Amino acid sequence: MISLLSIVAIGFFLGMRHATDADHVIAVSTIVSRQQSPWRAALIGGVWGIGHTLTIFAVGMAIILFNLVIPARLGLTMELSVGVMLIALGVWNVASFLHARSQADAQI
């Protein structure tokens, strides 16, 4: 029989793998790279991580407690929204880069 410790360990390592997916790395790095202070960047990254964890925990508990099933269409819609968010973050980064570059060129 699988022990509770084994289940928690598997959940932890799957969560760590999930946290290093490209969408998470891009989202967090985009947000924290705008901070001047490393401490503020770490705080914002930590708060983002805690908020993400609590959301996953709440949704997971609701699924388990109420025996819910997420329809495939909803899952695909959520994946699409992540893709749109990544594109928006990319556009934001490119715009910031171009703005900073034009500011630097203007000072020369």
58-82 confidence digits (pLDDT tens): 999 999 999 999 999 999 999 999 8
Inside any domain, residue 90: yes
> Can you give the residue range of the structural domain that contains 90?
71-108
DSSP 36: S
pTM for the predicted model, two decimal places: 0.68
Question: How many separate domains does the chain show?
Answer: 1
pLDDT score, position 1: 65
Cα 94 to Cα 108: distance, rounded to the nearest angstrom: 21
Residue 27 lies in a domain: no
φ and ψ of 77, to 5 deg: -65, -40
Q: CA 38 to CA 43: how far, in whole Å? A: 9
Determine, yes or no, domain membership for 102. Answer: yes
Would residue 78 count as lying in a domain? yes
Residue 10 has a pLDDT of 93
The segments of the chain whose pLDDT lies below 50 read: none
Is there a contact between 7 and 70 (Cβ–Cβ < 8 Å)? no
